[in-house]
Structure 1
Amino acid sequence: MTADRPTILATSGGYRRGLRVDLEFNLLMHHAVELAQVTGRRPRVTYVGTAGGDSREWNQRFTEAARIAGFDAACLNLFTMPNIDPLEDHLLSQDVVWVGGGSVANLLAVWRVHGLDQLMHRAWQAGVVLGGVSAGSLCWFRGGATDSFGPELQPVTNGLGFLPYGNGVHYDSEEGRRPLIHRMVAAGTLGETHCTDDGVGLVYHDTILIEAVTETAGKNAYIVRAGAGDSVDAVAVEEPLEARLLGGAP
């Protein structure tokens, strides 16, 4: 069974260091499966690592983490050609599509070349839970701050726009992200923008923000909106959004 409505879990987390392997799924990844309402069988999860260049090493880590979690995993590669055909049938058969981090600018360009942006939209509308971390969060929104173009953060404004907001990831761990998001919102480059500390995820049904959740105690989400001020002295206003601690979180 897929989710009963279009659902996105946009995060700055989802992984943890494993006891016997490099990577295990943390609570945000498990929450994505819960949102898919899977019962009576192993959840089907596809990993899309376009933003990281379809790293086979990351594919292996994800597949091993899925084995430990009791999920059936597939990895969708677009380099050097799509490894799954037909793509649409595969995506529609999944419970969760999880998108990894890396270069969101490259992800958007490659997805559009292959029409994967449209296929993702169909899967989302059909109830397949879309999720991801970092670039895999930002891609679902209109834009945000990215290091896709170099070490100095820059705006990206050509996101898929499934969610009609901006997005800020790694909000508490990368020093330049908060001030750039504020400048972009104040200038009108981004509209209302939803941001996550590391370990935090945002749950959307259709395009409505339902709640913030966290796998790490003390971490939160934020909504940044344009405040009062003229075009010369425009400001952004940040509203903290308390995140619900997921079960079993430290």
Structure 2
Amino acid sequence: MPADRPTIVATSGGFTRRERGGLDWAGTAHLAVDLAKVPTSRRPRLTYLGTAGGDQRTWAAEVHAAGERAGFSTTVLDLFPMPSVEDPAAQLLGSDVVWVGGGSVANLLAVWRVHELDEAFRAAWQAGVVLGGVSAGSICWFQGGTTDSFGTELRAVTNGLDLLPYGNGVHYDSEARRRPLVHELVGSGVLGETHCSDDGVGLVYQDTELVEAVTEVPGKGAYIVRRGEDGVVETRVDPRPL
């Protein structure tokens, strides 16, 4: 069974570091799997894309190991040096959850469009495949957001997939320049209403509606930034602990 409605879990989280090395899937990723409504008779089918990080093989191995521990049937879809499956669009459509890793969102969007995955993601989303990801893997679903894809100074990216009609601000509490740049971009109209997440926080959307914020880490927040008559207004959304 697919998700009840088109669903996206956009996060500044998703993984946790193991004490003796390696990764585990964290609460926001498990929530994405829960929202996919996978029958108990089989393992959840999760496809991971590390495009934004250049499809690093060592990271892919960590993802596979984390999937085994979580009970997921994991496929890593590489696009370097060529697609690692015959039909990437079919791979996405046949997944329960697609999770996108962090890195360069500008490069990610360019590579996806070369391979016509922008339309494939929209088709999968509309079919009930739950889309999720962290950092670049969060911003990509929106109209745009803040990124260090172009250099050490944060800049705006405005050519996201536009599945969600908002801007997106990730790492809102851990990188000092993120919050003021979001306010600048919203105030100038470069970004419209922008939804932001502290590290460990996920934003859950059904259709294009923000239905809740969730957190893997106590005390963290989510934020909605809008331009009002008297300037930029930021509203905190208290996340539900996972």
Partner of 2:171: 170
CA distance in 2, matches of 1:123, 1:148: 26
Distance 1:20 1:27 in 2: 20
Task: Name the CA distance, whole Å, in 1 between partners of 2:37 and 2:21.
Answer: 27
- 1:242 matched to which residue of 2? 238
- The one-letter code matched in structure 2 to 1:222 is Y
Equivalents in 2 of 1:191, 1:73: separation in Å? 35
Cα deviation code 1:138-172 (max 9, x no counterpart): 00000111000011100111111000000000000
Residues 213-239 of structure 1 deviation map (CA, whole Å, 9 limit, x = unaligned): 01111111000000224xxxxx31100
Query: What corresponds to 1:91 in structure 2?
Result: 92
Equivalent-residue separation in structure 1 for 2:79 and 2:162 (angstroms): 21
2:47 maps to amino acid: T
Q: Which residue of 2 aligns with 1:107?
A: 108
Give the distance between the partners of 1:198 and 1:35, measured in 2 at CA.
21
1:186, 1:88 → 2: CA distance? Answer: 37
Distance 1:53 1:43 in 2: 25
Whichever residue aligns with residue 164 of structure 1, its letter is P
Counterpart of 1:116?
Answer: 117
Tell me the equivalent position of 2:223.
222
Q: Which residue of 2 aligns with 1:192?
A: 193
Asked whether 1:30 is paired with 2:26, we answer no
Tell me what 1:13 maps to.
13
Superposed, 1:59-98 pairs within 5 Å as 59-98=60-99
Counterpart of 1:232 in structure 2 is none
TM-score, normalization: structure 2?
Answer: 0.98
Quickly say closer, same or farther: Cα 1:69–1:19, change in 2 above 3 A. Answer: farther
User: TM-score normalised to the size of structure 1?
Assistant: 0.95
Shift of 1:20: 4.4
CA distance in 1, matches of 2:57, 2:106: 20
Amino acid of the structure 2 residue aligned with 1:241: V
Deviations 1:182-222 (A, max 9, x none): 00000000000000000000000010110000111111100
List alignment gaps of at least 5 residues for structure 2: none
In 2: Cα distance, 1:92 partner to 1:11 partner: 21
User: What is aligned with 2:162?
Assistant: 161
In the alignment, which residue of structure 1 is the partner of 2:143? 142
* TM-aligned CA deviation for residue 21 of structure 1: 4.0
Amino acid across the alignment from 1:238: E
**Structure 2: distance between partners of 1:218 and 1:35:** 24
* Regions of 4+ moved over 6 Å: none
1:13 is paired with a residue whose SS is: coil
Deviation for aligned residue 1:36:
0.5
* Cα deviation digits, residues 108-165 of structure 1 (max 9, x gap): 0000000011101100000000000000000000011100001110011111100000
* Greater displacement, 16-25 / 87-96: 16-25
Percent same amino acid at aligned positions?
Answer: 63
CA RMSD of aligned residues (A): 0.9
Cα distance in 1 for partners of 2:38, 2:21 equals 26
Q: Structure 1: any 5+ residue segments left out of the alignment? A: 230-234
What is residue 206 of structure 1 aligned with on the other side? 207
In terms of mean alpha carbon deviation, does 48-57 or 34-43 score higher?
Answer: 34-43
